[in-house]
Structure 1
Amino acid sequence: MTSPRPRLPALPTAGRLMGRVLLVTGGAGGIGRAIALAAAAEGARVVVADVQRDGAEATVAQITAADGEAAFVPCDVADPAQVRALIGTAVGRFGRLDVLVNNAGIGGDNAPAHDLDLAVWDRVLAVNLRGPFLCAREALPHLMRSGSGVIVNVASTYGLIGAPQAPAYCASKGGLVNLTRQLAVDYGPRGVRVNAVCPGYVDTDMGGRRASLPPEASRAANAQREASAARQPLGRQAYASEIAQAVVFLSSGSSSFMTGSIVTVDGGCTATFNHGGD
């Protein structure tokens, strides 16, 4: 039986990101929106990037309604020209860039490797791995100039383990985990810290996949996720805001001696063997 999710207490605003400019990709909803809101609450000026204009503009509106400062820049992170324009626009708007959060990601189709369409493989790798690389490549000169630049990559527990019928997603997130470590090695001496967060089951609808299903199928898909989450030690899915708090921590001086770290925020699912029973 799934454990009830507790009500989260109001978290105090400590201003840990005051004066910092943070860019989050995939900020139109879900984890990305939660990261943008949490960063703004901590004093950051936030650049929200996404291909979904309406959702991203709604994120910006929530921040500005709370007296924060934010801007939307449309961007497909798999496109080098768009990424270059994104970074240039962010720096042009706010004069600097201190934190890059590579959050944009897609799931792709669920299928074993022998049935997976090559176009699906290519698109998942393009968004989930090529995208963070392109964003990092363009952002790093500005992050080095910051004096305390940070990259936080939003990977996945699927980048740490094998998961059924997810070859492209697992490969992309596994690559992102090790790209995190590699960038930490090269850029730590240059004043840039690079870490990754690996969420487990989070109560979001990545890419709107459940929303695109008929209501009964959507309910069944969510029930399956809840049942899987119930088998992990904390017995529930996460709130997107719980992932966001880990990202804010890694973006701030609170994590000043952390780089190359892969932080699981997964309710304990990678700490235990899932027997599949009650």
Structure 2
Amino acid sequence: MKVKSQTGDSVDFDPEKLRRSLLSSGASMSVVDDILQRLTEEVYEGITTRNIYKKAYSLLKKNANFHAARYNLKTAIHLLGPTGFYFEQYIAKIFESEKYEVKMNVTLQGRCVSHEVDVLVKKNDRIAMIECKFHVSQEAASDVKVPMYILSRYNDLNQVNHKVFSQKDEISECWIATNNRFTTDAIDFAACSGIKLLSWDYPKDNSIKVKNYRDCLYPVTCLTTITLAEKEKLLALGVILARDLTTSPERLAQIKISPKRVKNIVKEVTELCKCF
């Protein structure tokens, strides 16, 4: 059976790929088998993968909110747009969780011109600049022009002393982070140029997806028990990670959520952030 992908291509329906994505939510094998059985009965020739995802999400949510929240991860990261400002904060949180010192939105003078750097991180006396590329469209990819452009900025900054973490810092690494993916040419150019990449699925063993499942770095936009408007209010308050709500549940009251709902939301967060 042929289904339509997000790019508009006609592809074979792959139940095993769907099974793997459902299992990544933490749902049991029996629950996944039941959902697959129901989806198989509803899938038809030409259905979009987006509609299949929506059906799977709805069925997971009926089973457990936190399973649906995990399954919703890629869409949740997409909701950190459209400007990309919250995505930058999210990337900063990822590096903070790995014991980096972090500075955001710092303007530095290069040898030729000044540059605003999205994120600067420091660990073991090494400082890296991280440029974040947020795509509004989930189908878009960062092509080779992105690392080529950012390399020129890095080269203008990396041989100059800066006052960031101390009075005399040198930038010795360059990263590019994106919410979607990099093209093959972009990956090859970055590897050749010494630029490190981080995307939804790259590097394979340490991608944004892997870091989430391993370290429970789920953005607050994953949650199924709050509305989109409430998510936006929490982001505006600086609540980027869902797990922050376990230590600061008062943030929920701050945006006028009732005590009963606060209890349900904290329960979802607690279950969501049990890493497996």
TM-score, structure 1 length as denominator? 0.31
- Higher CA-based Rg: 2
Greater RCO, 1 or 2 (C-alpha within 8 Å, sep 6+): 1
TM-score, structure 2 as length reference: 0.31
